[in-house]
């Protein structure tokens, strides 16, 4: 899948799940459960033990899934993730070396940023999307709306504190997509190995995104 196709798929679905688990086994189960619910995009945080191998295994087992590397802190690790098959790179904060690695290798880059200066810097450096984190602590949907006024051309991903009550508001405020973790992938569902629970939540969140986008157009 090309970089353009990855970006288009992110825009289409509007949700990037993050499988922030304590084990590689749990992460793989969670990723495949979310994909079964219709969200074939997955961020694998490098806080997972063996995170690079999780990317490699998900890519091998799920050729239709878009798998990316998250919580990147060092460019060397980003390169290892790319070698494992990662199709996008994302970080919690802005690291221009990681942005450059993504650009050089032709994959989508979604750096984290918070302030207007960081967001503008990330976009001018070549970011495909800018992940606003921690979004809820900075004002939530109202902060996204405030950013979209001067930066209508920058695709923003709201990350941090997105849940069933706020996801629609983030989309209505102008977010191109949202990042989600435990509110989409409940720890108890992982513990019980209940993929149906996660399927239901994935369908519900996709429906809310679709409804909010339709409302935004009216």
* Residues involved in catalysis: 43, 131
Structure tokens at 178: 């949202």
Using CA atoms, how far apart are residues 1 and 65, in angstroms rounded to an integer?
10
Going by the DSSP 8-state scheme, the letter that residue 18 receives in this structure is: B
Using CA atoms, how far apart are residues 88 and 175, in angstroms rounded to an integer?
19
Structure tokens at 182: 């435990």
Residue showing tokens 């899934």 = 65
Structure tokens at 189: 């569902």
Structure tokens at 134: 């921690």
Q: Which of 3, 14, 181 is nearest to 87 (CA)?
A: 3
CA distances from 203 to 30, 50, 64, 84, 104 (A): 15, 29, 18, 29, 35
**CA contacts within 13 A on the Cβ side of 157:** 29
The contacts of residue 157 (CB under 8 Å, 6+ apart) are 16, 110, 129, 130, 131, 132, 175, 176, 177, 178, 179
């Amino acid at each position: 899948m090309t970089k353009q196709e990855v970006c288009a798929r992110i825009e289409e679905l509007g949700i990037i799940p993050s499988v922030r688990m304590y084990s590689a086994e749990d992460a793989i189960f969670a990723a495949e459960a979310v994909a079964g619910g219709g969200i074939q995009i997955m961020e694998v945080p490098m806080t997972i033990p063996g995170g690079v191998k999780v990317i490699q295994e998900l890519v091998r087992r799920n050729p239709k899934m878009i798998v990316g590397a998250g919580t990147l802190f060092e460019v060397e690790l980003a390169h290892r993730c790319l070698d494992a098959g990662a199709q996008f790179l994302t970080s919690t904060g802005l690291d221009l070396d990681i942005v450059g690695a993504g650009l050089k290798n032709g994959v989508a880059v979604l750096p984290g940023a918070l302030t207007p200066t960081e967001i503008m810097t990330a976009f001018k450096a070549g970011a495909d999307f800018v992940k606003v984190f921690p979004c809820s602590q900075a004002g939530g949907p109202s902060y996204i709306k405030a950013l979209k006024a001067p930066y209508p051309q920058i695709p923003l991903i709201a990350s941090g504190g997105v849940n069933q009550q706020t996801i629609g508001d983030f989309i209505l405020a102008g977010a191109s997509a949202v990042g989600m973790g435990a509110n989409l992938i409940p720890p108890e569902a992982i513990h019980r190995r209940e993929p149906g629970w996660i399927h239901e939540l994935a369908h519900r969140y996709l429906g809310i995104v679709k409804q909010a986008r339709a409302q935004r157009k009216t």
